[in-house]
Amino acid sequence: MFRGCVGLIFSLLAVTNRRFNGTAHLQAKLNHVALIDGEGLAERLRENPIRRGELISYLWQSAGGLD
């Protein structure tokens, strides 16, 4: 966990749409990285659905978009 400006707290996170192997779990534990596998990702998407248009808009904004 890392503290940023204005009270923000950041955590290290690795995400996959599949599964992490034993080595990945060990490395994550040693480096204090949270893992989200495919099942965890699907669960989070069910809890916080996002529409394709929202995702595309976010990606364009993150990339600077086309002005």
User: What integer pLDDT is reported at residue 44 of this predicted model?
Assistant: 93
Question: Residue 1, exposed/middle/buried by CB under 10 A (0-12, 13-18, 19+)?
Answer: exposed
Q: How far apart are CA 30 and CA 38, in angstroms?
A: 22
Range of the domain at 23: 2-63
Domain total of the chain: 1
Please report, in tens digits, the pLDDT of each residue of the chain (67 residues total): 666 667 778 889 999 999 999 999 999 999 999 999 999 999 999 999 989 899 888 888 888 765 5
**CA separation, residue 33 to residues 13, 25, 49 (Å):** 5, 9, 24
User: What integer pLDDT is reported at residue 19 of this predicted model?
Assistant: 97
